[in-house]
Structure 1
Amino acid sequence: MLKIRVTFTIQITLILHTYKSNIFKLLNTTSPTHSIAEIAKQIAQCEACPLYKTRTLTVPGEGDPRSDIMFIGEGPGRNEDKEGSPFVGRAGKLLDQLLDQIGLSRNKVFITNMVKCRPPNNRDPTPSEISSCSGHLDSQIQAIDPAVIVTLGRFSFSKFFPGLPISKVRGVPRAWKDKFIFPMYHPAAALYNPSLRPRLADDFTKLLELVNEYHNMPKIRSKSPNQVEPKQLGLFDR
């Protein structure tokens, strides 16, 4: 069993997220589900970059908007563009297998991409396209408020920590504000290079350990008489 070293930084970040989540719930009356639906409507109407001219459907993301795990990929491919859902091609099947390996399914996490429209010919999104779409992604992160953001590939990791090579940092959580960024290879990379598959599987095991660490931490409770229970993972109940 792989073990993540629970450092002081990890403990403090997990505590900060729990505390902020409690305060947010006390002050916010809009449900994450409603917020995510509204963001999806905005994405469907977006014409901020030229990708809207060639898209079939926008791919805002899907999953549980109350989840503590958020996956961020690169951009939709051909299958995603046709169906309007993220990770439904070969890379998506591998992602489903990796989630199943740790007792999860895609309806227990939230999955999205850096850009919400398919770049033509499955090319990489340009910096301008990523910048144009960043407001949508930032709104999703704020609405979902995950404890752990799993970045799949170099583009999504670069949003939070630009300039660091994914091969050197994958599988190691990094504190970002009150959250953790957990970098991994993109599943598509393992399809092109099967030798990466065991590393991806190892990283998903480490992800499970990190999430369980958050789940097992004492929850900070507000003294408000209208106290709302803090966010619970509840992802691995059998």
Structure 2
Amino acid sequence: MSALAAPTSAATASAAPPAPAAAAAPTDTAPRTPPAGRLAAAVASAQATAPPPAKPQGSTLGTFKALAKQGKPPAEAQMGERPSSMDAVRKELGDCQRCKLHQRRTNIVFGVGEPNARLMFIGEGPGADEDRLGEPFVGKAGQLLTRIIEAMGLSREQVYIANIVKCRPPENRDPEPDEVAACEPFLAKQVAFVAPEVIVTVGRVASHALLNLRTPITRLRGTWQKYRGILVMPTLHPAYLLRTPEAKRLVWNDIQEVMRALKLERPS
């Protein structure tokens, strides 16, 4: 089991979250720390080949179907029964055809990493590279996410990474409400099995869908939230950092809050 893996019994959420530090405005004169320096270098190296931004789309479903029927948001619901294994969740998903996204996919992008991790990252959905390889966050934005994880002193193998939807939306558009609802039971079971102490939601779509909120991501990021009793830290998407590298300091502030919650020491 990795250094960051939790015991195989169901983990519980950490104690009351630390008070979030005030977000620092992006600045070229901010103090240089080794992790932030590596993150800045990663942004600079990836920016040249960053993909163009996706076309703006309408809002994404924030209330998952099952919880909407109960009349309460995910943050107020309790964690469901823990599945017997992550393989059992994947087997139940099968060759999913529960929404129209299956019609154009190459691969289902289920999730990857340590199934007993203390830290889980949840993104929006697969892009072209992820659809081709069947693994989340492997394109340019994914490579930057890997650098961010490494700046925490961790590796991809020590965390668990999943998405709100498991098939690529055409033209990288936002997932539609029925698509989010079709995947929600399986994401909920993934979260229930991992039982992480902290979830980092990556970007607007993932943050809004998981937390059932409509707060702009620029205001939501850096604030502690909860999903079924688990601490959640929303942050900006790595793809946004590729287009807006001055925002890297904000993301690093958010990541430092996560490190404090998990009592992780900064790498030297």
TM over 0.5: yes
Q: Deviations over 1:86-133 (max 9, x none)?
A: 000000110011111110111000000000000111111111111111
| Equivalent-residue separation in structure 2 for 1:170 and 1:237 (angstroms) | 24
**Pick aligned residue for 2:238 from 187, 197, 222:** 187
Q: Secondary structure at the match of 2:226?
A: strand
CA offset at residue 165 of structure 1? 1.5
State the match for 2:180 in structure 1.
Answer: 130
Contact 1:76 1:115 in 2 (8 A): yes
- Pairing 1:10–2:10 present: no
| Equivalent-residue separation in structure 1 for 2:249 and 2:214 (angstroms) | 25
CA offset at residue 143 of structure 1? 1.1
**Pick aligned residue for 1:202 from 233, 247, 253:** 253
State the match for 2:163 in structure 1.
Answer: 113
Which amino acid letter does the alignment assign opposite residue 144 of structure 2? L
CA offset at residue 28 of structure 1? 7.2
| Equivalent-residue separation in structure 2 for 1:96 and 1:28 (angstroms) | 28
- Please, which runs of 5 or more residues in structure 1 have no aligned partner? 1-7, 12-19, 216-234
Q: Secondary structure at the match of 1:10?
A: coil
TM-score by length of 1: 0.74
In the TM superposition, structure 1's runs of 4+ consecutive aligned residues that sit over 3 Å from their partners are 27-30, 235-238
Q: Name the structure, 1 or 2, with higher relative contact order (CA <8 Å, separation 6+).
A: 2
State the match for 2:130 in structure 1.
Answer: 80
**Pick aligned residue for 2:211 from 154, 160, 178:** 160
State the match for 2:197 in structure 1.
Answer: 147
Contact 1:104 1:236 in 2 (8 A): no
State the match for 1:226 in structure 2.
Answer: none
- After superposition, the Cα gap between the structure-2 partners of 1:52 and 1:173, relative to the gap in structure 1 and judged at 3 Å, is same
Which amino acid letter does the alignment assign opposite residue 194 of structure 2? I
State the match for 1:41 in structure 2.
Answer: 91
Q: Deviations over 1:123-158 (max 9, x none)?
A: 111111111111110111111111111100112211
State the match for 2:152 in structure 1.
Answer: 102
Which one has the bigger helix percentage?
1
Size of the aligned set, in residue pairs, is 194
CA offset at residue 191 of structure 1? 1.0
Q: Secondary structure at the match of 2:122?
A: strand
Give the superposed CA RMSD: 2.7
| Equivalent-residue separation in structure 1 for 2:230 and 2:82 (angstroms) | 19
| Equivalent-residue separation in structure 1 for 2:232 and 2:168 (angstroms) | 24
Q: Secondary structure at the match of 2:137?
A: coil
| Equivalent-residue separation in structure 2 for 1:237 and 1:92 (angstroms) | 21
CA offset at residue 180 of structure 1? 0.3
| Equivalent-residue separation in structure 2 for 1:89 and 1:170 (angstroms) | 23
CA offset at residue 236 of structure 1? 8.7
| Equivalent-residue separation in structure 1 for 2:211 and 2:222 (angstroms) | 15
